[in-house]
Amino acid sequence: MREQRRHRATARLPGARERDFEAYVAGAAGRLLHAATLLTTEHPGRAPRAQALLTAALGATYARWGRLRGEDPYDLTRRELATRFARAAWRFHRPRGGVLSPLTPPERLVVVLRLYEGVAEEQAAALLGLPVERVRATCTRSVAVLRRTPVARDAARATGKAGAP
């Protein structure tokens, strides 16, 4: 009974833990959502699958928020996102028009981890349970495929020009 009352109190008045987590989500959600949208190859404006992936990964992070012990929460959420995407890869097999549409789900995962998130080859290999050589080969092959795809290449050229001062 007392425990229940305490729960209700914390729900009404967020403690330091909730406030910390809220600040973390406010800072990291945009970047993580972009990564998830790249993985699901959805349109950025309407990405329910990417949002569901992100919600699940952040929920798992919140469940461990009190027991992080110095671990980087962003790294944890990224790992959750990657493993959840890998486990449900068959649901994301159909391309939906995003930049990474020409790639298979495992290839998308390698490209997003290595090139968008900048995760080291060894860490990406450990996370995906693959040998380092395989990650390197997949990355090289995916880069070649993407550079051959006209739509994505034109988009990159356009932003490259626009981004140049």
Partner 1 sequence: MSDHDRKEDEVRRMLDAPPRGQVPPDLLPRVLDRGTRALRRARVLRRLLWVLLTAAAIAFTVWASAAEPWRPPPAGVTPPFQGW
46: helix, coil or strand? strand
Distance CA 103, CA 110 (A): 10
| Long-range CB contact pairs, 6-14, < 8 A, 24+ | none
From 19, 20, 22, 131, residue interacting with partner 1 (rule: CB under 8 A) = 22
From 53, 81, 82, 99, residue interacting with partner 1 (rule: CB under 8 A) = 99
Do the Cβ atoms of 36 and 81 come closer than 8 Å? yes
Name the one range near partner 1 by CB under 8 A: 27-35, 68-76, 81-89, 125-133.
27-35
Indicate the angle between helix axes 121-128 and 73-87, nearest 10 degrees. Answer: 50
Nearer to partner 1 by Cβ, of 37 and 135: the residue is: 37
Name the one range near partner 1 by CB under 8 A: 32-40, 68-76, 80-88, 126-134.
32-40
Output the smallest distance, CB 120 to partner 1, in A: 14
Nearer to partner 1 by Cβ, of 160 and 165: the residue is: 160
Do the Cβ atoms of 89 and 106 come closer than 8 Å? yes
From 95, 116, 121, 141, residue interacting with partner 1 (rule: CB under 8 A) = 116
Instruction: Please name which of 50, 4, 3, 7 lies closest in space to residue 29, comparing C-alpha atoms.
Output: 50
- Quick check: 27 binds partner 1 (CB under 8 A)? no
List Cβ neighbours of 129 (8 Å cut-off, separation of 6 or more).
none
- For the window 45-64, what string marks contact with partner 1 as x by the rule CB under 8 A? x-x--xx--xxx-xxxxxx-
Backbone φ and ψ for 113, nearest 5 degrees, come out as -65, -45
Contact positions toward partner 1, by CB under 8 A? 18, 21-22, 25, 29-30, 33-34, 37-38, 44-45, 47, 50-51, 54-56, 58-63, 65, 98-100, 111-112, 115-116, 139-140, 142-144, 146-147, 152-153, 155-156, 158-160, 163
